[in-house]
Structure 1
Amino acid sequence: MKLSVIGCGYLGAVHAASMASLGHTVVGIDVDEIKIAKLSAGEAPFHEPGFSDILRAGLDSGRLTFSTDFANAADADVHFIGVGTPQRKDSAGADLTYVDASIDSLVPHLKPGSLVAGKSTVPVGTAARLAEIVKPTGARLAWNPEFLREGFAVKDTVDPDRLVYGVDEATRDADVAILDSVYASILDRETPRLVMDYATAELVKISANSFLATKISFINAMAEIAEVTGADVTMLADAIGHDARIGRRFLNAGVGFGGGCLPKDIRAFTARAEELGRGESLAFLKQVDEINLRRRQHVVDLVVDSFDGIVHNHRVAVLGLAFKPDSDDIRDSPALDVAVRLNGLGADVISYDPEAMANAARMHPQLSFADSMEQALEGAEAVVVVTEWKQFKSLDPVETAAKVARAVVFDGRNIFNPEAWRAAGWAYTGMGR
């Protein structure tokens, strides 16, 4: 099929290249000329395992192209909307500027019978509004939310755990048939496909993110209790995780969640509930957010306390800047936040991350960055691990102790064996352990 993908950021670029890898002819459209030039040259504008390979393969095959001109999307059968919906500057709500602009720019190029399929995370009620804008062109609108995990985005696109179609009941069969054609090879693997109305499809994504955020903040709340009772939150998580109703995933206590989805999505969901007159239904998400944010300050407080309340001019190695491993994404990153806060208190912070340092330097040029993990550790008086990269997990406590000036470690992701590190002479502090 001929497809267009409007918006070539993280979501859109991955979707465009993935659809080309499935055999479709795809054009990615974005107003950012620099981004389009990079993608057209086969250069990934972000770090995502496997993305560079399918990007270059798509370009080499001729099935994948990129453009800044919406007219190049005119002959597409399906137009995917994959633009960002960041938090508004003046409120907790979602900023739909890019969604609205993409629809407005696309409308003059829509042909009767084509389908606009939204993938962006939007407040419930958005799809119904946009459908009325699209309708006069003879095209139709569906909502087809994505469920990507950064670090696994390519796999989650070409081999998702489910497909969700939000469609208008009046054109249900036709719209489902088109989306089934797009995802034919995925459906051949018996991937679950759920067809529903617009509102439910919109709520699926925001509800999923809210549930995951709640689960993470729950275990971090338990970590706070564990720290004052002497309990071990990791063992607690293992024990309750054996309950099939609960599960072990997303029960890892630490410095909390970040990134471009969970933080802004729970805030936007709360704001939308208040607009609908049901603010009390999601009031708990405000506490989820508060628990998450205070874990960052907790790590900073622990570091400062280890220097008897004065961290000024003390060398602190911060390992990790991305909000999660296998990513260079620093949006709302707890790791970067910890580095910035310690630097603001006068600590001599030296940071290292395998992929995110260039992005961090652009946003926070006041920070200092090491060329390697070893350089960051050299002479450190405290080591703070805040992103669970594999190379950090594999650190040897004995060898690492020989590099630092003071064997004090703060395991912000609970990735180390406390007994092994303490046996090697380290003053070890985990989260809720």
Structure 2
Amino acid sequence: MSKPIPVPVIDSGDSASIDVASTAPTTPDASWSSSPVLRADIDRRIESLNIEFDSLQTPSTPPTNHADGPILGWSYLAQPVKNICCVGAGYVGGPTAAVMAFQNPNIRVTVVDRDERRIRRWNSKHLPIHEPGLGDIVRIARDGSREISFTNTPVGSRANDGSDTASSSESEPASDGHHFRMTVVPSRQPNLIFSTEVTKCISEADIILIAVNTPTKSRGIGAGRATDMTAFEAVTSVVAQHARPGAIIVEKSTVPCRTAELVRETMELHRPGVHFEVLSNPEFLAAGTAVQDLLQPDRILIGSLTSESSRRAAETLATVYAAWVPRSRILTTNIWSSELSKLVANSMLAQRISSINSISAICEKTGAEVDEVAASIGRDPRIGNKFLKAGIGFGGSCFKKDILSLSYLAESLGLEEVGEYWRQVIKMNEYQRDRFSRRVITCLNNTLVAKKITLLGYAFKANTSDTRESPALEIIKTLLEENPREIAIYDPCCNPVVTRNEIKILLRDQAALQDDGGPIVVYSNAYEACAASHAILITTEFDEFRNKKRLETPKGLPGITFGSNKSLDPRPFKRIEPSETDILSLHKFLLHKNRCSGVGSDPLQRYIEEPACAEDCPDCGLMEKDASVSSKGNPNNEYRPGPGERLDWSKIASMMKTPKWVFDGKGIMDPKAMAKLGIRLESVGRRSSTFHELVVRYHTWIDEE
């Protein structure tokens, strides 16, 4: 065995990890092992393999049409899976592994990362990622559960008076009808492990998922566009040295097309003559709905070669997902198509956002309303209504870097016009964000001096604490140049102490925080953040901020949507033995039903007590510090809205400075309701109104009522 190669800290995408950017070459001209284009002799080797996806026609081989889905009827080809190792405990690896373990109680799923702080948080009650429903999944898979029993009868039926309770004792005798029986769910043992023992866990795994961060390079050749493969290459080297023969290596990270050949080359370099299969299995998760996307995916994409061993590996991975995903949604493709599909999917979604944002600029000049335009064109079945919500632009770790990667890939292949086309999507996104900032400054008489500006929302998207590439941060940078008295920030999902530390790191070239002499103050209370404010900017579409009905309802489990205030009893279950998804649906329903009755977060009494934190737990210290900071600004212990509760805009209006400005960057505010409160509302995609016009509209609305 060759001498182990030193491995840097694995960056799995946590925004709190600030690492020195790599200058390792990732361009085709600079490295023989880089993506998207590899050296010519590799291409000749691939051609020599005669990989033709329609050439396997013998009865002993699986179906060859990848578009038809998985290898239906060929599940006997699958290898038994007892142990899965996911390398990378970030926004992709953590939730993905948690759901895999939750849905496959008989498979041991281990998540490894060299970041001890992140692993410690996964093993505590302070999860490093905020995602609705993630805590419920982790607690069952990581800690195990008690035996429980409940009636298979909806609330309100004659066999259930609404006081549905669960017990860990033996069930009651069953009634004659299936619906009225007591359903018993046995206890389960923990099968989700978080560890820093990277090499040990890799060596024990049947399937190894690589889910480390692949950001955009910030230095060297291709800086600002090419994908930085440093962490991915480092992990691949470790996997190559320590994986057991026959292990299946799976790309979960978003990587440039043809990266699978890099993985194969690395495995051959370190372990010549040892057989491994390499698959592509990109994730299609959206921040804020990641758990729902994993529990009810639109599709599971598995890319492989067409050799029998490669197809057998694809079927093995498919059986893991088949524990809860319908087989019709598990699709197999050419491995290169799978790698490219993720980049194209994100790029086309971002393209739709930039397209409707470009129309919003026209609407503001003409008097058209972008919501009405979007509703109209969204009725066209050829277009559809998804991702046609105008706003201040897209953020997050995926869209921008994936578009840049796709653009760089095109130009590396000599397709300059294609690369320029996709770069325009990013330019439009930046234009939309900057246009919003300029609109704020213009409406406030081109000066922010001695004024307080409040931002509601710091994360790039609702129901997540992910702040990577958040439009709010760029808006803050623009506002800082205008020398305001205070920039107040409130976000219901972001820990204020963590946000302060992050801002201090990201804006290290200037004194930004109030403690350092700057104007930025991060609050844990929305009303405190809005008090005495000259203008409020809505920069994240949290439901807490809304004053009008939500038009779209996100998908969720049967009977429940994570983060929703409405739920339906999922019973009676069709199965005599309910699945984990069924039990989770019932848990969410009872949690909502008993929210105000003091039942707590475990209505089924299924949880085992979480691991206790050490006395010097830094996360507990953060919570205590945040409580201390909040109490100083709230000496009377006034009521604060809880998660998911709407803000009282009449209360906010009474505390604002006159004239009262609200700038709606997400299209979630009702202008009529704002006008009644004496608030001037400026929205993306709606023409600005003079104060006289607002008064006329207000009286017109009053007359209509």
TM-score range, shorter chain: over 0.9
Residue pairs, 1:366-405, within 5 angstroms: 366=512, 367-394=520-547, 395-405=647-657
Q: Check if 1:13 corresponds to 2:13.
A: no
Deviations 1:236-288 (A, max 9, x none): 00100011111111111110000011111111111121112123223221111
How big is the shift at 1:182?
1.4
Equivalences for 1:194-343 in 2 at 5 Å?
194-343=331-480
The separation in 2 between residues aligned to 1:310 and 1:335, in whole angstroms, is 19
RMSD: 1.5
Cα offset for 1:158? 2.8
Q: Which residue is 2:501 aligned to?
A: 362
Distance 1:359 1:222, change over 3 A: farther
The within-5 A match list for 1:171-190 is 171-187=309-325, 189-190=326-327
Deviations 1:118-164 (A, max 9, x none): 11111111112212222543221100011001111122123211111
Task: List per-residue Cα deviations over 1:368-420 (Å, max 9, x = no partner).
Answer: 11231101111111111110111111445433321211311101111011122
Q: CA deviation at 1:227?
A: 1.2
Match of 2:454, SS?
strand
Partner of 2:195: 67
229-238 vs 399-408, which deviates more?
Answer: 399-408
Is the Cα contact below 8 Å between 1:339 and 1:351 reproduced in 2? no
Point out 4+ residue stretches in structure 1 off by more than 6 angstroms.
Answer: none
Instruction: State the distance in 2 between where 1:210 and 1:9 align.
Output: 22
- Residue in structure 2 matching 1:420, options 673, 678, 694: 673
Please tell me whether the aligned partners of residues 330 and 359 of structure 1 are also in contact (alpha carbons under 8 angstroms). Answer: no
Tell me the CA shift for residue 3 of structure 1: 0.2
| SS of residue paired to 2:383 | coil
| Equivalent-residue separation in structure 1 for 2:487 and 2:664 (angstroms) | 16
1:131 maps to 264
User: Secondary structure, in 3 states, of the residue corresponding to 1:368?
Assistant: strand
Partner Cα distance (1:353, 1:40) in 2: 25
Shift of 1:42: 4.6
Match in the other structure for 1:121: 254
User: Which residue does 2:490 correspond to in 1?
Assistant: 352
Q: Distance in 2 between matches of 1:377 and 1:350?
A: 8
Q: Is the 8 A contact 1:134 1:141 kept in 2?
A: no
Partner of 2:28: none
Q: Among the aligned pairs, what percent are the same residue?
A: 34
The SS at the match of 1:304 is: helix
Letter paired with 2:499:
A
Alpha-carbon contact 2:214-2:254 (below 8 Å) kept? yes
Is the Cα contact below 8 Å between 1:111 and 1:138 reproduced in 2? Answer: no
The CA deviation string for residues 160-183 of structure 1, in whole angstroms up to 9 with x for no partner, is 111111112223321122112211
Q: Tell me if the contact between 2:491 and 2:524 (Cα under 8 Å) persists in the aligned partners.
A: no
For structure 1, list consecutive stretches of 5 or more residues without a partner in the other structure.
none
- Structure 1 residue 351: Cα displacement: 1.0
Larger deviation: 37-46 or 307-316? 37-46
Matched position secondary structure for 1:349: strand
Give the residue type in structure 1 aligned to 2:503. Answer: H
Higher helix share: 1
Between the aligned partners of 2:398 and 2:127, the Cα distance in structure 1 is 20
Is the 1:320–1:351 contact (alpha carbons within 8 Å) kept by the matching residues of 2? yes
Counterpart among 105, 113, 118 of residue 30 in structure 1: 113
Give the equivalent residue in structure 2 for 1:41.
124
Q: Which runs of 5+ in 2 are unaligned?
A: 1-81, 145-189, 505-511, 513-519, 548-646, 687-705
1:77 to 197, 206, 218: 206
Letter of the 1:121 partner, please give it.
Answer: T
8 Å Cα contact 2:408/2:419 also seen in 1: no
CA contact (8 A) 1:320 1:336 kept: no
Structure number with higher relative contact order (C-alpha < 8 Å, ≥ 6 residues apart): 2
Distance 2:477 2:465 in 1: 17
Partners of 1:52 and 1:419 lie apart in 2 by: 39
Deviation at 1:337, TM superposition (A): 2.0
TM-score when normalising by structure 1: 0.96
- Could you tell me how far apart the structure 1 residues matched to 2:322 and 2:443 are? 58
Q: Which moved more, 1:5-14 or 1:168-177?
A: 168-177
Instruction: Tell whether the 8 Å contact from 1:223 to 1:432 is kept in structure 2 after alignment.
Output: yes
> Contact 2:499/2:522 (CA < 8 Å) preserved in 1?
no
Q: CA offsets per residue over residues 293-343 of structure 1, 9 Å max, x none?
A: 122211211111122111122111111100000011111100222123213
Deviation at 1:80, TM superposition (A): 0.6
The CA distance in 1 between the partners of 2:92 and 2:430, in whole Å, is 25
Q: Deviations over 1:330-366 (max 9, x none)?
A: 1110022212321332122111111224443122132
SS at match of 1:112: coil
> If you compute each CA radius of gyration, which structure gives the higher value, 1 or 2?
2
* Secondary structure at the counterpart of residue 249 of structure 2: strand
AA in 2 matched with 1:411: D
SS of residue in 2 equivalent to 1:166:
strand
More moved, 324-333 vs 296-305 = 296-305
Alignment counterpart, residue 682 of structure 2, candidates 423, 429, 433: 429
Q: 1:140 to 1:172 in 2, by over 3 A?
A: closer
CA distance in 2, matches of 1:103, 1:42: 31
Letter matched to residue 365 of structure 2: V
How far apart, in 2, do the equivalents of 1:374 and 1:382 lie? 13
CA contact (8 A) 2:304 2:311 kept: no
Q: Is this contact kept in 1: 2:237–2:267, CA < 8 A?
A: no
Equivalent position of 2:638 in the other structure: none
- Aligned-partner SS, 2:256: coil
Bigger drift between 325-334 and 293-302 goes to 293-302
CA change 1:329–1:358 in 2 (3 A) is farther
